């Protein structure tokens, strides 16, 4: 479900409620999500203050006063909702517990942070903060697309020898970390590049052109609060609204929006994921 913009939106929503706050208690309602929760997770969270709330790729990282960091991944269907009016501005009480509320953090400021994930592809883990870079899930991630290490020479170099379609290459988190199916489709549309084209076969100039487009699409989506399809909500329960700006994703059989293009949006399946694109103007 959530790609980088959705995860960043969740992080920003959690920031004022969680950063600097103490975890009074954690309710862990099942033994696992995608993997078993770490040993004694609830105990290791209890009484700890969240000293910083960061993001790496699609992972939310909560640094704790104990010297450990809680790693949270939302998988396909994960949501995090805040309740309890901890900032004195929401004016709503705790809603009734729902199915798939797997972990609930109770904060000493009165706030409650609920992790809900029907499909349970999400994950949580705890690791010493000083070892976060070496965690199995984070160690092989590529650069942050909105960070300084992601630039034109890097992407040209990274894709130079990749025989896989550009669509698959950009979904590979080792190449660039945080893009998912929706935003790759939108990026390739804006760049007029066919998702079917082999990465290595695209000119350096066109690969380079992807860099600012990736930054723009992600930045615009963050500014819009992410994209809400089925599951995703911001932490206050509001919908994101970038889905209204999709030009190709989910628009199979609709006319291409490129000026003067008479194409029709197609859907093809590449390595198990749907790619939406205009076969006329994306080459």
Residue from 21, 77, 235, 282 binding DNA (CB under 7 A): 77
Closest to DNA by CB, 86 vs 225, is 225
Strands 112-116 and 273-277: unpaired
**CB of residue 169 to DNA, shortest distance in Å:** 7
Active-site residue, 230 included: no
Residue 273 is among the residues annotated as catalytic for this protein: yes
Token pair 């950063």 in the structure block, residue: 19
Q: Is 75 in the site for DNA (CB under 7 A)?
A: yes
Of 11, 48, 58, 190, the active-site residue reads: 58
Query: Residue 127 gets which letter from DSSP?
Result: E
Distance CA 251, CA 264 (A): 9
Which range touches DNA (CB under 7 A), out of 46-54, 87-95, 228-236, 256-264?
Answer: 228-236
Residue 239 DSSP class:
P
Q: Which of 66, 94, 121, 154 binds DNA (CB under 7 A)?
A: 121
The size of the interface with DNA (CB under 7 A), counted in residues, is 38
Residue 64 CA to residue 91 CA, distance in Å, equals 28
> Rounded to 5 degrees, what angle do the CA atoms 33, 47, 6 make?
45
Cβ nearer to DNA, comparing 48 with 162: 162
Q: How many CA atoms lie within 13 A of 141 on its CB side?
A: 21
| Cβ neighbours of 176 (radius 10 Å) | 27
CB 107, min distance to DNA, A: 26
Helix, strand, or coil here: 102? strand
Q: Which of 197, 198, 215, 273 is catalytic?
A: 273
Contacts of 109 (CB under 8 A, 6+ apart): 17, 21, 22, 86
Residue whose CB is less far from DNA, 46 or 219: 219
- Find the binding residues for DNA in span 147-206 (CB under 7 A): 162-165, 168, 173, 180-182
On whether the CB atoms of residues 6 and 78 are closer than 8 A, the answer is no
Q: Which range in 20-28, 37-45, 70-78, 207-215 contacts DNA by CB under 7 A? A: 70-78
Applying CB under 7 A, among 1, 18, 126, 278 the residue interacting with DNA is: 1
Closest CA to 82 of 27, 28, 14, 25: 14
Catalogue the active-site residues.
2-3, 58, 273
Site residues for DNA per CB under 7 A: 1-3, 6, 34, 57-58, 73, 75-77, 99-100, 118-121, 137, 162-165, 168, 173, 180-182, 227-232, 267, 271-274
């Amino acid at each position: 479900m959530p790609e980088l913009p959705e995860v960043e939106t969740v992080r920003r929503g959690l920031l004022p409620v969680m950063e600097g706050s103490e975890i009074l208690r954690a309710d862990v309602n099942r033994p696992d999500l995608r993997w078993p929760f770490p040993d004694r997770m609830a105990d290791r969270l209890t009484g700890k203050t969240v000293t910083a709330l960061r993001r790496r790729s699609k992972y939310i990282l909560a640094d704790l006063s104990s010297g450990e960091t809680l790693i949270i991944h939302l998988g396909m269907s994960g949501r995090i909702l805040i309740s309890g009016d901890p900032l004195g501005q929401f004016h709503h009480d705790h809603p009734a517990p729902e199915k798939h509320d797997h972990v609930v953090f109770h904060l000493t400021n009165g706030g409650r942070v609920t992790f809900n994930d029907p499909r349970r592809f999400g994950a949580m883990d705890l690791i010493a903060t000083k070892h976060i870079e070496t965690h199995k899930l984070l160690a092989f991630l590529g650069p942050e697309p909105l960070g300084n290490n992601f630039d034109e020479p890097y992407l040209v170099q990274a894709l130079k020898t990749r025989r896989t379609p550009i669509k698959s290459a950009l979904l590979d988190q080792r190449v660039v970390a945080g893009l998912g199916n929706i935003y790759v489709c939108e990026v390739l549309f804006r760049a007029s590049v066919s998702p079917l084209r082999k990465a290595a076969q695209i000119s350096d100039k066109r690969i380079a052109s992807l860099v600012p487009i990736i930054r723009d699409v992600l930045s615009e989506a963050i500014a819009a609060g992410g994209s809400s399809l089925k599951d995703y909500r911001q932490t206050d329960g509001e919908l994101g609204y970038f889905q209204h700006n999709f030009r190709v994703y989910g628009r199979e059989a609709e006319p291409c929006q490129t000026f003067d293009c008479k194409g029709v949006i197609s859907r093809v399946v590449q390595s198990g994921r749907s790619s939406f694109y205009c076969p006329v103007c994306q080459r």
